[in-house]
Structure 1
Amino acid sequence: MTRNGRGLNVTKQEWIKYAALFLLAVAAFGVSWLALTNPRGASEAVSPVTVTPPSATPTATVTPTANATPSPKPKPKATAERLGIELPAEPVVLILGDSYTAGMGADPADQGWAYLVAGSLGYPTNIDGVPGTGFAWGGGEQDELAQEYEVRLQAAAQDPSFVPNILILQGGQNDAAITDPAEVKIATAETIEAARRFWPGIQVVVMGPSAPLPFAGDLSAANSAVRAGAAAAKAPFIDAVKAGWFTGANSPEFNFDGAHPNTAGHAHIAEKFLKAWATLTD
């Protein structure tokens, strides 16, 4: 290239070089423009992205968030009311029942279960046992003697010299002669309520029928009726039948006449009663 007064003189080779550079610049600009407007190209498909969540690690305790509603806790099952005896400062006891309370079968009669219990407890005690009677059965072949327990309690309440604050009612053997168990249940509940009227504040315990086998097998319905009556009056019930005081194994040695226990049988009843009494007064 030479310089003269009128401008620049460009040789042919230089024009070719400038033209090539220009074309390269144009091509570069075009590539850049395409990259900006379609970086993947018009025909290239965009593959979807799959997101794999992180594996959760289980924990032993789940902490709820502030807005979470806690699951309701299961309510505890209702339990039956525990009935018992709160011993007075000076217990005075009346034991009322049938021939078992009278000591029939024991030799002598004062070795009957009621006498043994009274001696073991050591409280002032009156024992009223009349053979052939019950809560609903008044005694006699035809239930004609009117010696039901409530009647006898009413007579006992006429004596101002003896005021019991604990009453033990034993029976049900003779009530098995009643064909309607509901009658026995009602009579049992009414007897307990009557005692509470005669001696306000008295505490009542009921001991159902008990007998050596096979007689015990005939007492199931009467036992259930007496137990239901005690429950209706909210009085503790000692269930000799359910507890199995007399079994096929021990009945022969405790049997007196097929319907009553002998002396050893009465001692057996007294022992079982005192164990049940301990749980009621605990």
Structure 2
Amino acid sequence: MGSRGTFGREKITLAVVVIACLLVVIGLAVDHARTEPPAAHSDGSDDAGTNLYLGPDIDKYDVPRGSRVLFFGDSYTEGWGAEDLADGYAYQMSGLMGWDVTVRGVGGTGYLDKGSKNEGNYVTRIERLDAVGPYSLIVLQGGSNDQAALPRSESGVIDTTPLSISVEQAFNAMQAKYPNTPIIMLGPVSTGEKVNPDKQAVDATLSSFAYARGVHYISPIAGRWFLSSEREELIDERTGHPNGLGYEKMARMLKRQLNAYLVDPID
């Protein structure tokens, strides 16, 4: 009886240790899930998932038809590649969402990049914005031009630290310019599935910032908004940007994602 009792106690002790170890592993996994942005998944269709972070603690926004919305960004927001700049995705959001849109896009600029004509980086451009609020929502788009402005190590790896600093400065400047206006960040665009590592690093930096600040972030790269097989139909080879049809698709993809963040989605 004594040996059986000892053996039974040893089995119980071992079971307790195993359960405790499992609880620790589960706890670490849950904590990781809380602190890391979930990976995006996409099949390349218009129904593709495009957000890198849709946090449960972020309020949805009340932006019904007729609301005033500001789109701020680079050449994609300006409409480069379309025969008429007014065919750009930002302008098309007016018809798709029923919003009164204000578009401020300047090609070649970025969070860091001042543009080929020294138009100013995002902080400078935001500080001198002539767009008068109030707005119900701001879509802050960009990042494509910043990869070339980042320093590199001797091994050729880019250092995204300056970008992180500039993104925070630009975001804070936008908040100061339009207090109490929700901001959704829209990341850099790729016109095919193959994305160079530098642009991916920029996308990841913006995503990490948005996650840390509790801001919705939309990644056209993660969502694979444009496929290589669509290039001939949707991309203007002269500029390397979407053409009118390409911006139509971009606007549709953006509408779907924005609707996920609205109190009342817009049909």
Match of residue 124, structure 1, among 100, 105, 117 = 100
Shift in Å at residue 150 of structure 1? 2.0
Match of residue 134, structure 1, among 110, 123, 135 = 110
Secondary structure of the structure 2 residue equivalent to 1:131: coil
**Cα distance in 2 between the residues matched to 1:259 and 1:207:** 19
**Cα distance in 1 between the residues matched to 2:97 and 2:175:** 22
Counterpart of 1:148? 121
Q: Which moved more, 1:178-187 or 1:76-85?
A: 76-85
Letter in 2 for 1:227: S
**Cα distance in 1 between the residues matched to 2:240 and 2:211:** 27
Counterpart of 2:16? none
Secondary structure of the structure 2 residue equivalent to 1:274: helix
Counterpart of 2:214? 234
Shift in Å at residue 88 of structure 1? 5.0
Shift in Å at residue 215 of structure 1? 7.5
**Cα distance in 2 between the residues matched to 1:96 and 1:215:** 26
Give unmatched runs, 5+ long, in structure 1: 1-70
**How many pairs are equivalent?**
209
Secondary structure of the structure 1 residue equivalent to 2:183: strand
**Cα distance in 1 between the residues matched to 2:98 and 2:242:** 24
- 2:264 paired with 1:264: no
**Cα distance in 1 between the residues matched to 2:207 and 2:201:** 10
Counterpart of 1:166? 137
**Cα distance in 1 between the residues matched to 2:89 and 2:67:** 19
Structure 1 residues 237, 274: CA separation in 2 closer, same or farther (over 3 Å shift)? same
* CA contact 1:105–1:262 (8 Å) conserved in 2: yes
**Cα distance in 1 between the residues matched to 2:212 and 2:173:** 14
Counterpart of 1:280? 261
Letter in 1 for 2:74: D
Shift in Å at residue 167 of structure 1? 0.9
Give percent identity, aligned residues only.
Answer: 24
Counterpart of 1:220? 200
- 2:149 paired with 1:178: yes
**Cα distance in 1 between the residues matched to 2:216 and 2:59:** 6
* CA contact 2:71–2:103 (8 Å) conserved in 1: yes
- The higher radius of gyration belongs to 1
Which fold has the larger relative contact order, with Cα–Cα distance below 8 Å and residues 6 or more apart in sequence? 2
Shift in Å at residue 271 of structure 1? 0.8
**Cα distance in 2 between the residues matched to 1:210 and 1:146:** 21
Give unmatched runs, 5+ long, in structure 2: 1-18, 35-54, 151-158
Aligned-pair Cα RMSD in Å: 2.8
Secondary structure of the structure 1 residue equivalent to 2:241: coil
Counterpart of 1:64? none
Counterpart of 1:86? 61
* CA contact 2:81–2:240 (8 Å) conserved in 1: no
* CA contact 1:165–1:199 (8 Å) conserved in 2: no
* CA contact 1:92–1:123 (8 Å) conserved in 2: yes
Structure 1 length-normalised TM = 0.66
* CA contact 2:160–2:201 (8 Å) conserved in 1: yes
Matches within 5 A, 1:89-128: 91-128=67-104
Counterpart of 1:204? 183
Shift in Å at residue 229 of structure 1? 2.5
**Cα distance in 2 between the residues matched to 1:196 and 1:175:** 21
Secondary structure of the structure 2 residue equivalent to 1:219: helix
